[in-house]
Chain A
Amino acid sequence: MSETRKILIWDLPTRLFHWLLVLAIVALVVTGKAGGSWMEWHGRLGLLVLGLLVFRLLWGVMGSTYARFAGFFPTPAKVAAYLRGQWHAPGHNPLGACSVLALLAVPLFQALTGLVANDDIAFVGPLYDLVGRDLSNLATRWHLLAVNVLLALVALHVAAILFYAHIKKDNLVKPMVLGWKDSAHGESARGGGWIAFVVALALAVLAVYGASGAWLPEPPPPAAVETPAW
């Protein structure tokens, strides 16, 4: 057993992203299942998730060492090596990386389909006007079906963390909260400074603005359209 020391694994933006995403997804599942007037909040939270995901995708390029996709992108060879027990490095292991990518992709899919979805009752996504009814219904169908995939992935994610904690005696939650980990291998994360953060954040805000449909032309005010008085 070699010496262990404290190294920084997850930078603050990555950790904030992670826990905000957790909260938002829980709230989205609750508001989505509740429906009715909760859909208002469902739509807002969905936009928040979209912003978070855009930020994370950019942070995967501009962020610090272990947040970068290039560093943890799983290849079949890497996964095989990990399964043979020949992989030792801090950060996402190759199998975990598959789970991470899926947990980014499915919520992204949810947010994008949600933008044009409708509940056939009194709520439509902010970009509903850009697609026809048929496409919106199709997006809604996929939105509802993908929820099951998302819930399954979350269950797997939590199960894996419990497995690591209890069987492999490796607490993965603590580094995601504090950022630090005692490790025998690797260096502290580097990169992902203020400028990268501000740029990623600004682009994420821009994406949310685009998705919010705030730029769409206002519908004509009721007085502007003449219809028979009866």
Chain B
Amino acid sequence: MKTKILLAALATALTATAHAQVKVEDAIKWRQSAYATMGWSMARIDSNLKGTYNKEEVLKAATVLQAIANSGMGSLYLPGSDKGKGWVDTRVKPAFFTEGAKVGKIAGEFNQAANDLAKAAATGDAAAVKTAFGAVGGTCKSCHDDYRAK
């Protein structure tokens, strides 16, 4: 029992230091890179929906979106990272850090939409992918509208 508590305490301490070790600049770079990668995946699916549909390619792109959506990107929003420069100056709005519940709700909807898209992509049904893709795009936008500076 004691060892368990000790281990738990150690683990907590380690995670805490692990967090502290992420530099604000890196956190901003990583989140910007993750979003840019999602941009790539969205563009890929879009061009498949508009041109000839390739199930494999759409599935690859949808898997990337799903993975990033479920990667716990929230941990890249370190306190103090409302200002600073990653690849470019951050565009996150200060409200992102004060409206935790609302941001969490949007992030949850985004995760759900990305999971649904991955499911649809696995079936290869282009019409279902189109609907799910639109829903994902809607959640990207709702976060940008409120929490990303213009």
A residues at B contact (CB < 8 Å): 34-37, 119-122, 140-141, 144-145, 222
* Contact assessment for B43 and A36 in the assembled complex, using a CB-CB cutoff below 8 Å: no
B residues at A contact (CB < 8 Å): 35, 39, 42-43, 45-46, 51, 130, 133-135, 137-138, 140-141, 144-145, 150
Q: A141-B150, A144-B150, A145-B150 are in contact. Are A35 and B138 (CB under 8 A)?
A: yes
Chain A residues with CB under 8 Å of B140's CB are: 120-121
Chain B residues with CB under 8 Å of A121's CB are: 39, 42, 137, 140-141, 144
Q: A35-B138, A36-B135, A37-B130 are in contact. Are A122 and B42 (CB under 8 A)?
A: yes
Chain B residues with CB under 8 Å of A145's CB are: 150
Chain A residues with CB under 8 Å of B135's CB are: 36
Apart from A35-B137, A120-B35: 13 A-B pairs, beta carbons within 8 A:
A34-B138, A35-B138, A36-B135, A36-B137, A37-B130, A119-B141, A120-B140, A121-B137, A121-B141, A122-B42, A122-B137, A145-B150, A222-B51
B65 to chain A minimum Cβ distance, whole angstroms, is 11
Q: How far is the CA of A120 from the CA of B36 in the complex (A)?
A: 9
* Contact assessment for A36 and B138 in the assembled complex, using a CB-CB cutoff below 8 Å: yes
Q: A37-B130, A141-B150 are in contact. Are A122 and B138 (CB under 8 A)?
A: no
Main secondary structure on chain A at its contact with chain B? helix
Closest B residue, CB atoms, query A38: B134
Most chain B CB inside 10 Å of its own CB: which residue of A36, A121, A122: A122
Chain A to chain B contacts (Cβ below 8 Å), 25 pairs:
A34-B138, A35-B138, A35-B141, A35-B145, A36-B134, A36-B135, A36-B137, A37-B130, A37-B133, A37-B134, A37-B137, A120-B140, A120-B144, A121-B39, A121-B42, A121-B137, A121-B140, A121-B141, A122-B43, A122-B45, A122-B46, A122-B133, A140-B150, A145-B150, A222-B51
Closest B residue, CB atoms, query A143: B150
A32 to chain B minimum Cβ distance, whole angstroms, is 10
Q: How far is the CA of A119 from the CA of B46 in the complex (A)?
A: 13
Chain A residues with CB under 8 Å of B138's CB are: 34-36
Chain B residues with CB under 8 Å of A141's CB are: 150
Q: How far is the CA of A147 from the CA of B134 in the complex (A)?
A: 23
Closest A residue, CB atoms, query B149: A141
A65 to chain B minimum Cβ distance, whole angstroms, is 42
Q: How far is the CA of A34 from the CA of B139 in the complex (A)?
A: 10
Q: How far is the CA of A119 from the CA of B140 in the complex (A)?
A: 10
Q: How far is the CA of A141 from the CA of B39 in the complex (A)?
A: 18
Chain A residues with CB under 8 Å of B137's CB are: 35-37, 121-122
B99 to chain A minimum Cβ distance, whole angstroms, is 20
Most chain B CB inside 10 Å of its own CB: which residue of A36, A119, A141: A36
